[in-house]
């Protein structure tokens, strides 16, 4: 008799909220990870990262964590949620998935139901099928079961969206599809069935369409500034009472999904396309913020404050943030000093950067970059404006300060 209903391999920002939500629905769940700090915190009922609602939930559900991969043999169902980064040459990196398969294969037994949930390139689930059948001599759909069930939650909204979003189940046989549905119908009543590849493409198309949408507004912001015009005024007029094609506001477009998922499709074609162009535009924005400020004021010998370091607002997730890229471009111009402040991060952001207090970061600042649109910066806008000098320049692609401009001086804030 199995000891656990579900084993989740990879209890990061996708796996842990899922595991806790499944435990809340009555499943006995174990999390498996190689990160000892994460395991220790989870077993002490502490969330290792911020995710709304789960700080309280983790204290009350039956969920434990371990580094022992052999525990998969004591579970009926296995859900894989490890990372799938993009290599530097626009190539999908399957090393984490392959590592999991290599580690767990000795413990796979007849009847196991395996669910791949990581964001993957098309045909990756079929690769997993071939791997399992070759290494175990078991047959998917007959003696073991396999589906691809993508997550599509927004970070910070997992508790709500795991319940509200329809669950896509990609399978190639009815038995596997039924076993996956039995799990996810406890979370959401909206289940949609399709093939492996279609399910993989659903997740990629969701993310890539947003990535392109934001690239369009970022391209518009570059064009507007090159013409000496105000992008926020233009967008406001373009969208006002216009019933078609609402233009998004510009900003850094990054993170572990949006910044890489285009490559999982782009690697399948040899020519330049819309997806690659969107990537180029979004990746250019840090340099745009440095180069176009230089048209107004030199960064050389200036004190620079960078507010925000995480990849999106109101989160402590720094993975694939564009802020380090922005800082590197700033440093090429030889400022006197660059100070960083992010209210969601510890005093030492990483081995490279110290996280200053807000007051220390903006003290004597000649230039302030708003790198992340944290709500705290909007709430403290008036305080920041009072503290900085009259000659201080602000670069605010997000329009956090409400000036309606990307590059402006203190007196231009409304």
52 with 112, same domain: the answer is yes
The answer to the question of residue 200 being in a domain is no
255 with 359, same domain: the answer is yes
Give the whole-angstrom CA distance, residue 393 versus residue 407: 7
Residue of 106, 29, 38 whose CA lies nearest to 67: 38
The answer to the question of residue 350 being in a domain is yes
State whether residue 43 is helix, strand or coil: helix
Residue of 391, 357, 363, 359 whose CA lies nearest to 303: 363
Instruction: List the structure tokens of 319.
Output: 């993975």
List CB contacts of 250: < 8 A, sequence separation 6 or more.
Answer: 214, 217, 218, 220, 221, 231, 285, 397, 398, 406
How many CA atoms within 13 Å lie on the side-chain side of 22?
Answer: 27
The answer to the question of residue 58 being in a domain is yes
CB pairs under 8 A, 24+ apart, for 400-403?
400/370, 400/373, 401/370
Give the whole-angstrom CA distance, residue 16 versus residue 50: 11
Strands (E) located in 236-383: 303-307, 337-341, 367-370
58 with 185, same domain: the answer is yes
177 with 249, same domain: the answer is no
CA distances from 369 to 323, 326, 346 (A): 10, 9, 20
State whether residue 127 is helix, strand or coil: helix
Query: Number of structural domains, the chain?
Result: 2
State whether residue 121 is helix, strand or coil: coil
Give the whole-angstrom CA distance, residue 393 versus residue 289: 12
Domain finish residue from 140, 174, 194: 194
CATH of the domain at 115: 3.40.50.720
171 with 281, same domain: the answer is no
CA distances from 340 to 182, 189, 304, 349, 384 (A): 47, 45, 9, 9, 14
175 with 293, same domain: the answer is no
Q: Are strands 63-66 and 29-32 parallel, antiparallel or unpaired?
A: parallel
154 with 83, same domain: the answer is yes
Q: What is the largest CA-CA distance in the chain?
A: 72
25 with 120, same domain: the answer is yes
Identify the pLDDT of residue 183.
97
The answer to whether 85 and 255 are in contact (CB under 8 A) is no
The answer to the question of residue 382 being in a domain is yes
Report the alpha-carbon angle 309-314-320, nearest 5.
Answer: 40
List CB contacts of 134: < 8 A, sequence separation 6 or more.
Answer: none
DSSP characters over 167-193: EEEE-SSHHHHHHHHHHHTTT-S-EEE
143 with 274, same domain: the answer is no
Question: What is the reported pTM?
Answer: 0.91
Give the whole-angstrom CA distance, residue 399 versus residue 410: 13
Q: What is the pLDDT along the chain (414 residues), one digit of tens a residue?
A: 579 999 999 999 999 999 999 999 999 999 999 999 999 999 999 999 999 999 999 999 999 999 999 999 999 999 999 999 888 888 999 999 999 999 999 999 999 999 999 999 999 999 999 999 999 999 999 999 999 999 999 989 999 999 999 999 999 999 999 999 999 999 998 999 999 999 999 999 999 999 999 999 999 999 999 999 999 999 999 999 999 989 999 999 998 888 899 999 999 999 889 999 999 999 999 999 999 999 999 999 999 999 999 999 999 999 999 999 999 999 999 999 999 999 999 988 877 899 999 999 999 999 999 999 999 999 999 999 999 999 999 999 999 999 889 999 988 886
Structural domain boundaries, residue 360: 229-412
CA 200 distance to own-chain centroid? 17
Instruction: Encode pLDDT of 352-363 as tens digits.
Output: 899 999 999 999
List CB contacts of 262: < 8 A, sequence separation 6 or more.
Answer: 208, 211, 275, 276, 278, 279
Identify the pLDDT of residue 1.
53
């Amino acid at each position: 008799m199995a000891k656990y209903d579900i084993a989740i391999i990879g209890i990061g920002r996708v796996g842990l909220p899922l595991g806790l939500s499944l435990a809340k629905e009555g499943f006995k769940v174990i999390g498996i990870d190689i990160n000892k700090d994460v395991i220790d915190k989870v077993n002490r009922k502490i969330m290792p990262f911020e995710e709304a609602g789960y700080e309280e939930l983790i204290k009350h559900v039956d969920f434990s964590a371990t580094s022992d991969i052999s525990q998969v043999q004591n579970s009926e169902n296995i859900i894989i949620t490890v990372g799938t980064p993009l290599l530097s040459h626009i190539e999908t990196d399957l090393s984490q998935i392959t590592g999991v398969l290599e580690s767990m294969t000795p413990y796979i037994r007849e009847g196991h139901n395996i669910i791949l949930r990581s964001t993957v390139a098309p045909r990756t689930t079929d690769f997993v099928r071939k791997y399992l059948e070759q290494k175990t001599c078991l047959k998917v759909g007959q003696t073991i079961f396999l589906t691809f069930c993508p997550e599509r939650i927004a970070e910070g909204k997992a508790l709500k969206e795991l319940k509200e979003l329809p669950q896509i189940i990609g399978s190639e046989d009815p038995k596997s599809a039924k076993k996956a549905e039995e799990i996810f119908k406890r979370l959401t009543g909206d289940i949609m069935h399709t093939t492996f590849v279609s399910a993989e493409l659903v997740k990629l198309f969701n993310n890539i369409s947003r990535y392109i949408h934001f690239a369009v507004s970022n391209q518009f912001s570059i064009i507007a500034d090159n013409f000496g015009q105000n992008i926020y005024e233009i967008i406001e007029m373009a969208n006002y009472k216009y019933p078609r094609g609402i233009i998004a506001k510009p900003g850094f477009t990054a993170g572990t999904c949006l910044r890489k998922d285009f490559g999982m499709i782009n690697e399948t074609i040899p020519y330049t396309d819309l997806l690659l162009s969107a990537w180029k535009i979004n990746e250019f924005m840090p340099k745009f913020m440095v180069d176009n400020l230089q048209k107004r004021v030199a960064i050389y010998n200036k004190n620079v404050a960078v507010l925000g370091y995480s990849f999106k607002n109101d989160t402590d997730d720094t993975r694939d943030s564009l802020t380090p890229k922005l800082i590197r471009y700033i440093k090429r111009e030889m400022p006197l000093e660059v100070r960083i402040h992010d209210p969601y991060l510890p005093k030492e952001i990483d081995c490279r950067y110290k996280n200053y207090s807000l007051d220390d970061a903006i003290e004597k600042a000649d230039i302030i970059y708003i790198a992340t649109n944290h709500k705290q910066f909007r709430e403290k806008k008036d305080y920041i404006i009072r503290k900085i000098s009259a000659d201080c320049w602000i670069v605010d692609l997000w329009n956090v300060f409400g000036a309606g401009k990307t590059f402006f001086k203190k007196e231009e804030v409304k």
